[in-house]
Homo-oligomer: A and B are copies of this chain.
Amino acid sequence: MPLSIGQQASLRRTISETDIVLFAGISGDTNPVHLDDLAAQDSPFGKRIAHGILSAGLISAVIGTRLPGPGTIYLNQTLAFRRPVYIGDTLTATVEVQALRPDKPIATLRTVVTNQAAEVVIEGEAIVRLPS
């Protein structure tokens, strides 16, 4: 079934301390604001926050499993980090088809992550090659 402009899909997930610890381990991003309660208390955020790229993973999950889904090839992603994500926040990543190239199987997707208060935490755009 071909994609159409405006088509949407979402995934929702609660961010746990486990996610942050594991992401720190596999990325090597051990910035104290993610792992050190005392440093985080002295930061502008007041408590530990999730890595921005970890939250961006939920966009990747929608693209890779829902829309366009398995077989999609990621070409480009822009990410504007608008607000911090705290342990226990429940994030929704939403992907919406914005443009489809007439000549090639390439789509532009609007990608937004919001928290449980419906505040935008990340927004941006992805360009993907569609599965054949």
Contact = CB atoms under 8 A, between A and B. Distances in A.
A100 interface: no
A76 B81 contact: yes
Interface string A37-81: 111000110001001111011111101110000111111111111
Interface of A: 11-14, 16-19, 21-39, 43-44, 48, 51-54, 56-61, 63-65, 70-81, 88, 90, 116
A34 B24 CA distance: 16
A84 to B, nearest CB: 9
A112 to B, nearest CB: 15
Chain B CB count within 10 A is highest, among A24, A34, A59, A65, for A24
Contact of A77 (B27, B33, B79): B79
A69 B71 CA distance: 22
B35 A70 contact: no
A57 B23 contact: yes
Contacts of A44: 73
B14 A35 contact: yes
Nearest to A131: B43
B37 A88 contact: yes
Contact of A58 (B28, B77, B80): B28
